[in-house]
Structure 1
Amino acid sequence: MKTLPDEILLHIISYLSPPELVGLQYVSRQLWSLARDNNTWKRLCFERSEGEKRRRRQELAADLDPRLAELLRAAESLPGAFPTDRHVSIAGEELQRDGVRRKKTLLANWDPTYSSEKVNWYQDYIHRHAPHSMSWFQSARHGHQDDNLHHEATGAGILFDGDGMADKLVAPLEDGSISIWDASGSQERRGRIIARSPVGLLANRGSDLDYETRLKQSQAIMTETGAVECVSIDSRQKKAFFAVQNILNEVDLDTLRVISRTPYPFPITALSEAHHPTPLTVGTNWTIHLHDTRKPPSLPPETRTELIGGTPGTSYSRLETGDFGGHVSLSQPGALSILHLPTTRDWDGNGDIWVGGRFTSFLNFDRRYFPRLRGTVHSGARLSCLTAIPYPFIPNDLRLNSPYPSSALLRAKSTPGYTLIAAGEYKGKGSLELYSLSSDPSRSINPSDTRTTKKSHTCYQNRQTASSSKLLSVAPHGTRLVFADGEGNMKWVERDGSTFVRKLNINDTATPNGAMAPEEGWGEIVQKILPTVSPSPSSPRATTVPLGEDNLIIWTGDGRLGLVGFGGEAFREAGQDELEEAAMEHDARETRAREREYGTEMRRALEHQARELRWLRGYGL
Structure 2
Amino acid sequence: MKHLPDELVLHIISYLEPPELVILQHVSRNFLNLSRDNKLWKSLCFSHSAAERRRRRLAVSTDFDPRLADLIRAADALSSTFDTSVHDSSAPSAELQIDRNKERRKEALIANWDPSYPDEKVNWYQDFIQRHAEQKISWFQDAGSEGREDETIRKEATGAGILFDSDGLADKMIAPLDDGSISIWDASASSQRQGRLMAKSDIGLLPNKGSDLDHDTRLTQSQAIMTETGAVECVSIDSKLKKGFFAVQNVLNEVDLNTLTVVSRTPYPFPITALSEAHHRTPLTVGTNWTIHLHDTRKPPPAPSSVRCELIGGSTDTSFSRLDTGDFGGHVSLSQPGALSILHLPTAREWDGNGDIWVGGRFTSMLNFDRRFFPRLRGTVHSGARLSCITAIPHPFVPQDLRLGRPYSSPAVLRNAKSLPGHTLITAGEYKGKGSLELYGLSSEPTRSINSSDSRTTRNPKAYYQNRQTASSSKLLAVAPHGTRLVFSDGDGNMKWVERDGSTPVRQFNINDFQRSAPETTSTSQLVSAQSDTEAGWGDIVQKILPTVCTSLLSPYSLSSTESLGLENLVIWTGDGKLGMLGFGREPSFDADMFEDALEEQVDAGEKVREKEYSKEMRRALEHQARELRWLRGYGL
Query: 1:185: how far off?
Result: 5.1
Query: How many Å separate the matches in 2 of 1:318 and 1:482?
Result: 43
Query: How many Å separate the matches in 1 of 2:283 and 2:152?
Result: 41
Indicate the SS of the match to 1:473: strand
1:163·1:542 contact (CA, 8 Å) conserved in 2?
Answer: no
Q: What are the superposed Cα offsets for residues 94-123 of structure 1, whole Å, 9 maximum, x if unpaired?
A: x97962211110011100011100000000
Q: Which residue pairs with 2:37 in the alignment?
A: 37
1:393·1:460 contact (CA, 8 Å) conserved in 2?
Answer: no
Q: Which residue pairs with 1:448 in the alignment?
A: 453
Q: Is 1:561 the equivalent of 2:579?
A: yes
Matches for 1:541-560 after TM superposition, within 5 Å: 541-542=557-558, 544=560, 546-560=564-578
Query: How many Å separate the matches in 1 of 2:371 and 2:19?
Result: 51
Query: How many Å separate the matches in 2 of 1:470 and 1:277?
Result: 35
Q: Is 1:170 the equivalent of 2:188?
A: no
User: Among 155, 158, 163, which residue is 1:159 paired with?
Assistant: 163
Q: Which residue pairs with 1:478 in the alignment?
A: 483
Q: Which residue pairs with 1:112 in the alignment?
A: 115
Q: What are the superposed Cα offsets for residues 290-340 of structure 1, whole Å, 9 maximum, x if unpaired?
A: 0000111359xxxxxxxxxxxxxx999865524455000001001000000
C-alpha spacing 1:472/1:457, structure 2 compared with 1 (3 Å): closer
Q: Which residue pairs with 2:591 in the alignment?
A: 572
User: Among 375, 382, 398, which residue is 1:378 paired with?
Assistant: 382
Query: How many Å separate the matches in 1 of 2:571 and 2:105?
Result: 40
C-alpha spacing 1:348/1:515, structure 2 compared with 1 (3 Å): closer
Q: Which residue pairs with 2:540 in the alignment?
A: 524
Query: How many Å separate the matches in 2 of 1:453 and 1:220?
Result: 43
2:389·2:479 contact (CA, 8 Å) conserved in 1?
Answer: yes
Query: How many Å separate the matches in 1 of 2:68 and 2:558?
Result: 43
Query: How many Å separate the matches in 2 of 1:437 and 1:71?
Result: 37
User: Among 548, 551, 555, which residue is 1:535 paired with?
Assistant: 551
Matches for 1:136-535 after TM superposition, within 5 Å: 136-142=139-145, 145=148, 147-184=151-188, 188-298=192-302, 320-323=324-327, 325-400=329-404, 401-402=406-407, 405-461=410-466, 463=468, 465-509=470-514, 510=518, 516-517=532-533, 522-535=538-551
Indicate the SS of the match to 1:454: coil
TM-score normalised over the length of structure 2: 0.81
Indicate the SS of the match to 1:283: strand
Query: How many Å separate the matches in 2 of 1:8 and 1:38?
Result: 16
AA at the equivalent of 2:495 = M
Q: What are the superposed Cα offsets for residues 562-613 of structure 1, whole Å, 9 maximum, x if unpaired?
A: 111001412110533268999xxxxxxxxxxxxxxxxxxxxxxxxxxxxxxx
AA at the equivalent of 1:396 = Q
Query: How many Å separate the matches in 1 of 2:369 and 2:450?
Result: 14
Q: What are the superposed Cα offsets for residues 491-521 of structure 1, whole Å, 9 maximum, x if unpaired?
A: 0000001000000111112278876537999
Indicate the SS of the match to 2:576: coil
AA at the equivalent of 1:127 = Q
AA at the equivalent of 2:142 = S
Query: How many Å separate the matches in 1 of 2:285 and 2:319?
Result: 20
Query: 1:4: how far off?
Result: 1.0
Query: How many Å separate the matches in 2 of 1:517 and 1:97?
Result: 56
Query: How many Å separate the matches in 1 of 2:455 and 2:298?
Result: 36
Query: How many Å separate the matches in 1 of 2:508 and 2:389?
Result: 20
Indicate the SS of the match to 1:562: strand
Taking only aligned residues, the RMSD between alpha carbons, in angstroms, comes to: 2.8
C-alpha spacing 1:185/1:404, structure 2 compared with 1 (3 Å): closer
User: Among 47, 61, 64, which residue is 1:69 paired with?
Assistant: 64
Task: Give the share of equivalent positions with the same residue, in percent.
Answer: 69
1:379·1:462 contact (CA, 8 Å) conserved in 2?
Answer: no
Indicate the SS of the match to 1:575: helix
Q: Give structure 2 stretches of 5+ with no counterpart.
A: 72-97, 304-316, 520-527, 603-637
Query: How many Å separate the matches in 2 of 1:178 and 1:471?
Result: 28
Q: What are the superposed Cα offsets for residues 38-91 of structure 1, whole Å, 9 maximum, x if unpaired?
A: 000000000000111112223233xx2xxx2239969x9xxxxxxxxxxxxxxx
C-alpha spacing 1:185/1:49, structure 2 compared with 1 (3 Å): closer
Query: How many Å separate the matches in 2 of 1:542 and 1:222?
Result: 37
User: Among 94, 101, 104, which residue is 1:101 paired with?
Assistant: 104
Query: 1:142: how far off?
Result: 2.4
Query: How many Å separate the matches in 2 of 1:446 and 1:540?
Result: 25
1:287·1:328 contact (CA, 8 Å) conserved in 2?
Answer: yes
Q: Which residue pairs with 2:609 in the alignment?
A: none
Query: How many Å separate the matches in 1 of 2:566 and 2:110?
Result: 26
Query: How many Å separate the matches in 2 of 1:452 and 1:355?
Result: 19
Q: What are the superposed Cα offsets for residues 118-177 of structure 1, whole Å, 9 maximum, x if unpaired?
A: 000000000000111111000023256463321100000000011110000000000000
AA at the equivalent of 1:142 = S
Query: 1:410: how far off?
Result: 1.7
TM-score normalised over the length of structure 1: 0.83
Indicate the SS of the match to 1:466: coil
Query: How many Å separate the matches in 1 of 2:286 and 2:336?
Result: 16
2:355·2:369 contact (CA, 8 Å) conserved in 1?
Answer: yes
For these two proteins, the number of residue pairs brought into alignment is 546
Query: How many Å separate the matches in 2 of 1:258 and 1:519?
Result: 32
AA at the equivalent of 1:115 = P
AA at the equivalent of 2:260 = L
2:425·2:440 contact (CA, 8 Å) conserved in 1?
Answer: yes
Indicate the SS of the match to 1:398: helix
Indicate the SS of the match to 1:220: helix
Query: 1:549: how far off?
Result: 1.1
1:548·1:568 contact (CA, 8 Å) conserved in 2?
Answer: no
Q: Give structure 1 stretches of 5+ with no counterpart.
A: 77-94, 300-313, 583-621
AA at the equivalent of 1:58 = L
C-alpha spacing 1:180/1:544, structure 2 compared with 1 (3 Å): farther
Q: What are the superposed Cα offsets for residues 373-396 of structure 1, whole Å, 9 maximum, x if unpaired?
A: 000000000100000000011122
Q: What are the superposed Cα offsets for residues 161-209 of structure 1, whole Å, 9 maximum, x if unpaired?
A: 1111000000000000000000015575111100110110001000111
Query: How many Å separate the matches in 2 of 1:559 and 1:521?
Result: 10
AA at the equivalent of 1:529 = I
Query: How many Å separate the matches in 1 of 2:261 and 2:46?
Result: 50
C-alpha spacing 1:316/1:278, structure 2 compared with 1 (3 Å): farther
